[in-house]
Amino acid sequence: MAVLCIVAIMTIISMPLLREQVAAREIDSIARRFIAHTHFARQQALHLGEAVLINPVSMSGTIGNSSESWDWGWLIQSGCLTKIAKPNCIPKHWFSQSAIDPIYFKGGGKQFQDPHSGKKGILFNAAGAAKTGQGGFVANRLILGHRKVPELERQLILGSGGRWRICDPARDAKRCH
């Protein structure tokens, strides 16, 4: 009976830690997937010599809607992205990510929003430089959170050379700033 009581107490004590570890792994998984998709988009832009866009999708599953959110997923596409319309141009859609709940982008991922048009997205030009979907410069940071563990977050930081890193502000505040 004493052993069962000790096991029950240990289980009750360890449950919050286990929940936090699971949440941290979920955030890290989505962060790595987002970075892998942006690396793919950049490599495709360099390889094809044309712009490649990673765009958030809207709740209805379409692009170009004002209710776009990175939380609902993203789509990688190229072709027909220039300002000059090409006749018979068919956009290429490589792959997409669906909703990432319970993970979310803090601030809705507004760091990748064009300040003039309000459109979201990251455009990699033919040289591999990251711009907003409308051609402006991209902010260098996204912050991921978890709905079940609100104090947990990871920062995705885009360096000047196009490299991303994942930063945990709770462990390494200096590296995150």
For 55-84, what is each residue's pLDDT tens digit? 888 766 455 445 678 888 899 988 676 666
Please state the pTM of the whole predicted model: 0.81
Instruction: Give the pLDDT of residue 66.
Output: 53
**Class for the domain spanning 33-139:** alpha beta
Q: How many CB atoms lie within 10 A of CB 161?
A: 6
- Assess contact for 154 and 167: CB atoms under 8 A: yes
What are the phi and psi torsion angles at 74 (to 5°)?
-150, 165
Q: How many CB atoms lie within 10 A of CB 96?
A: 16
Which of helix, strand or coil describes residue 156?
Answer: strand
Residues of the chain with pLDDT under 70: 59-67, 79, 81-87, 108-111, 115, 132-139, 160-161
The tokens describing 102, both together, are 């319970």
What are the residue boundaries of the structural domains of the chain, listed by start?
Answer: 33-139
